[in-house]
Amino acid sequence: MKENEIKDLPNKEEQNKENNSKDLVVKKEKPFKEKKAKWLRQTSLTVLLILIIVAACIGINIAVEKANLADFDFTKDKVYSLSEQSKQIAKNIDKEVEIIIINQNIINQMVGQQYNGVEDISKKYNGINDAIKIEIVEDVTSRPDLTDEYGLTADSTGVIVKSSEREKILSIYDLYTTDYTTGQLKNTVEEVLTNAIIDVTTDEKPVIYNLTGHNKYSSDYLYYFGVDLEDEAYEFEDIDLLTAGSVPDDCSVLMITTLAEDITEAERDAILDYIQSGGKIILFSDPNSTGKEMPNFQEVLDEYGISISEGVMLEQDSDRMLYGTPSAILVTVSPYTSVTSETNMNMNACFMTAGRIDIADSERLEELGVAVETLATTGENSFYRTDYSIETATQTDDDEDAGNATVGALLKKTIDENTTSELIVYSNNIFITNLQIAISSQYYSYALDFYNNEDLAINSIAYLTGRENMITIRKDAEQSTYTVTQEQNTNILAIIFTIPVVIMIIGMVVWQFRRRKK
C-alpha cells in the first residue's frame, strides 16, 4: 500500500469515536408525546379491529338467521335435527300448511331458551318444503282474526297447524311435558308438529279397532298407546262384535289383546269372515297361564297355523333382562323384516312375562297358504317354564331349553290371487300398556316406554296399514334442566359477556407495557 493511501485512512481512535456517535444517535429515545401518540394510535386500531370483528360476527349471525340454513347437529341422538321420518313426511306434503306460533317469547320464558324452540324446529320443515309456511305472532292483539276465531288473549301461547281442510291447536303442554319418574323435561315439539302436519293433510285416517268384551286388561291400560296412535293420525276405537255384528268395512286393522275368556261363536265367525276378505290383524297376547280352553279363538289362530303357549319365557343372561328380573327379557328385533327394514336401525324391546309363539310345520303352513317372517326372538340362553309353582329364577330340570324362541311374527295368508290377509302377533301384551314397572325404590316407568316398545308396536300397525313412511325409530328428546332466578340469570349473562372483554383489555395493556419496556 502506498504512503499517501495510508495517510487517508482514519486512525483507530477516530473510528471508535465515530461509531460511538452513531450508537448514541440510534439509541436516543423519542419524545414522550410522540410515544404517547403512537400508543394511542395502536390502541385505537386494536379497538377498531375488535369492533369490526364483533360487527362481522353479528352481521353473519343475522344473515344466517334470515337464510334459515340447516344446522350442523353433532349430538349422538340428533336432538337438534329432524328425524328421517319427519323429513320424509315434510317432503311428501303437497298441500299448503300453516304453522302459526303464538307468543314464542313467552314459551321460551316458560320452558327455558336452552331448549330447541318451536320457531327453530318449525323453520326446519319450511326448509325442506316451502309449502309449509311459518308465521310468528308475538302481539296477538294485533290479529283480531285469531283472537275472534280461537279466543286468544295477549298472554296466550301455543301453535296452530292448519290446512285448507282442517286444523289442530297445540298447547305448550303438548309441546313440552315432564317425566315425573325421572324429573326430566321432555321436548316433544318435533313429534307433535309432525303428527299435526299429518293430521291436517291426511284425507282419510286409518281406523284401528280394539276388540273388547273378553279382555284381561281394561282399555285404561291401553290409554297411552291409544294416544300415541291418535298422535300419528290414526283413529283408535273400541269395538264389541256382539253389538256390531261384524268387523266394520272401514277397519284398517283389528287389534286383539290378551283374552281372559274365550270369544263367542258369533265373534269367531265375524273375525273369520274378516280374514277371508283380506283383513289385517295385530295380536298382543300374554301366555295363557290359567290354561283356560279357548276353542273359538284358537280357530282364528289356526287360520295362520299358530298358537300362544301356556308357559312363560325366562332369561338367564343378565345382559338380556331388566336388573334382577328374568321374566323381563330384552328381545332381539330383526332389522331385516318387512316391518323393520325401513328403520335402517336396530331396535330393542322389553317383553314382560312373555309367552312363546308355536308355529305349525312347513307342510301345514303350505296347506294354509301362510308365509312366516320372524320379527322378534329371545336370547340364546332363555328357557321355557310351564310350572308356575317353581319359585327359583334359575332353570330347573322341569324347564325346557328354548333359546332364540319366537316371540314376534308376521304371517301372510294367501286367500286367492287378489287377496291376502296378514297377522302380526307378539306373545306379550304388557309391553304396550301403561302398567307401572318399578326401576328403583323411588322411580317407575310405564311398560310402553321401555326401550323401543312403542316403536315396535306402532311400526307394526304402520306396516299393516301400508304407511311405510311412518315406520321409524322415534327420537327421545328428554333433556335435564334446572331453573334459575332472574338475578342469577343476570349474573350469568354478565359473566358471559364481561369476562371476555376484561381479558381483551388486560391483554392489550400487557402487550403495550411489554412494548414500552423494549
Residue 94 sits in a domain whose CATH number is: 3.40.30.10
Quote the pLDDT of residue 481.
39
Q: How far is CA 6 from CA 1, 2, 15, 196, 225, in A?
A: 7, 7, 15, 105, 113
More confident residue, 59 or 336: 336
Identify whether the C-beta of residue 160 lies closer than 8 Å to the C-beta of residue 110.
Answer: no
Quote the pLDDT of residue 113.
54
Most confident of 9-13, 100-104, 263-267: 263-267
Q: Does one domain contain both 253 and 296? A: yes
Q: Does one domain contain both 448 and 498? A: no
Q: Does one domain contain both 297 and 393? A: yes
Task: Say which CATH number the domain at 312 has.
Answer: 3.40.50.880
Most confident of 186-200, 462-476, 478-492: 186-200
Task: Write the single-letter amino acid at 64.
Answer: V
**What is the DSSP code (8-state) at residue 432?**
G
pLDDT at 1 over 50: no
Does residue 365 lie in a domain region?
Answer: yes
Q: Does one domain contain both 330 and 411? A: yes
Neighbours of 189 (CB within 10 A): 23
Q: Does one domain contain both 273 and 352? A: yes
Q: Does one domain contain both 37 and 117? A: no
Does residue 75 lie in a domain region?
Answer: no
- Quote the CA–CA distance of 364 and 156 in Å, as a whole number: 63
Task: Write the single-letter amino acid at 24.
Answer: L
Confidence of residue 285 (pLDDT cuts 50, 70, 90): very high
Identify whether the C-beta of residue 130 lies closer than 8 Å to the C-beta of residue 194.
Answer: no
Q: Does one domain contain both 356 and 286? A: yes
Q: Does one domain contain both 259 and 333? A: yes
Does residue 419 lie in a domain region?
Answer: yes
Handedness of CA 479, 480, 485, 488 (dihedral sign): negative
- CA proximity to 111, closest of 41, 30, 119: 119
Q: Who's near 400: CB < 8 A, 6+ residues apart?
A: 311, 383, 384, 385, 386
pLDDT at 485 over 60: no
Q: Does one domain contain both 58 and 113? A: no
- Average confidence score pLDDT of the chain: 82
169, 198, 229 - which closes a domain: 169
Confidence of residue 323 (pLDDT cuts 50, 70, 90): confident
pLDDT at 162 over 70: yes
Does residue 471 lie in a domain region?
Answer: no
- CA proximity to 333, closest of 317, 320, 314: 320
Residue 153's domain spans which residues?
84-169
Q: Does one domain contain both 404 and 302? A: yes
pLDDT at 383 over 50: yes
- Quote the CA–CA distance of 283 and 253 in Å, as a whole number: 10
The percent of residues above 90 in pLDDT, for the chain, comes to 45
pLDDT at 278 over 90: yes
Q: Does one domain contain both 158 and 306? A: no
Quote the pLDDT of residue 439.
73
- Nearest 5 degrees, angle CA 19-CA 25-CA 29? 145
- Quote the CA–CA distance of 313 and 84 in Å, as a whole number: 35
107, 139, 169 - which closes a domain: 169
pLDDT at 97 over 60: yes
Tell how far CA 454 is from the center of its chain.
11
Task: Write the single-letter amino acid at 476.
Answer: D
Lowest mean pLDDT among 13-17, 282-286, 343-347, 382-386: 13-17
**What is the DSSP code (8-state) at residue 76?**
T
- Quote the CA–CA distance of 17 and 15 in Å, as a whole number: 5
Does residue 473 lie in a domain region?
Answer: no
Question: Average pLDDT, stretch 382-406?
Answer: 93
Query: Which parts of 289-440 fold into alpha helices (H)?
Result: 295-302, 362-368
Does residue 410 lie in a domain region?
Answer: yes
Which residues, in sequence order, are bridge partners of residue 186?
177, 478
Does residue 200 lie in a domain region?
Answer: no
Name the grid cell of 131.
Answer: 309449502
169, 196, 225 - which closes a domain: 169
Domain count, the chain: 4
Q: Does one domain contain both 440 and 365? A: yes
Quickly list DSSP for 243-305: HH-S--TTEEEEEEE-BSSPPPHHHHHHHHHHHHTT-EEEEE----TT----HHHHHHHHTTT
